[in-house]
A and B are shown apart, each in its own frame.
Chain A
Amino acid sequence: NAGVTQTPKFRVLKTGQSMTLLCAQDMNHEYMYWYRQDPGMGLRLIHYSVGEGTTAKGEVPDGYNVSRLKKQNFLLGLESAAPSQTSVYFCASSRQGGLWTQYFGPGTRLLVL
Chain B
Amino acid sequence: GENVEQHPSTLSVQEGDSAVIKCTYSDSASNYFPWYKQELGKGPQLIIDIRSNVGEKKDQRIAVTLNKTAKHFSLHITETQPEDSAVYFCAASRDDKIIFGKGTRLHILP
Instruction: Please give the residue numbers on chain A whose beta carbons come within 8 Å of chain B beta carbons, in ascending order.
Output: 4, 31, 33, 40-45, 48, 50, 56, 58, 90, 92, 97-99, 101-102, 104-107
Contact = CB atoms under 8 A, between A and B. Distances in A.
Contact of A56 (B36, B45, B96): B96
Q: How large is the interface on B (under 10, 10 to 19, 20 to 34, 35 or more residues)?
A: 20 to 34
Contacts of B95: 97-99
Contact of B93 (A41, A56, A99): A99
A1 B101 CA distance: 29
B100 interface: yes
Nearest to A109: B41
B100 A42 contact: yes
B71 interface: no
Contacts of B45: 104
Contacts of B93: 98-99
Contact of B44 (A31, A41, A50, A104): A104
B58 interface: no
B44 A90 contact: yes
B100 A90 contact: no
Interface of B: 6, 9, 31-32, 34, 36, 41-46, 49, 89, 93-103
16 contacts: A40-B9, A40-B102, A42-B6, A42-B101, A42-B102, A42-B103, A43-B44, A43-B89, A45-B99, A48-B97, A97-B97, A98-B96, A99-B31, A101-B34, A106-B42, A107-B43
A101 B49 contact: yes
Given A40-B9, A42-B89, A42-B103, A98 B98 contact: yes
Nearest to A90: B43
| Chain B CB within 10 A, most for which of A4, A42, A45, A92 | A42
A39 to B, nearest CB: 10
B45 to A, nearest CB: 7
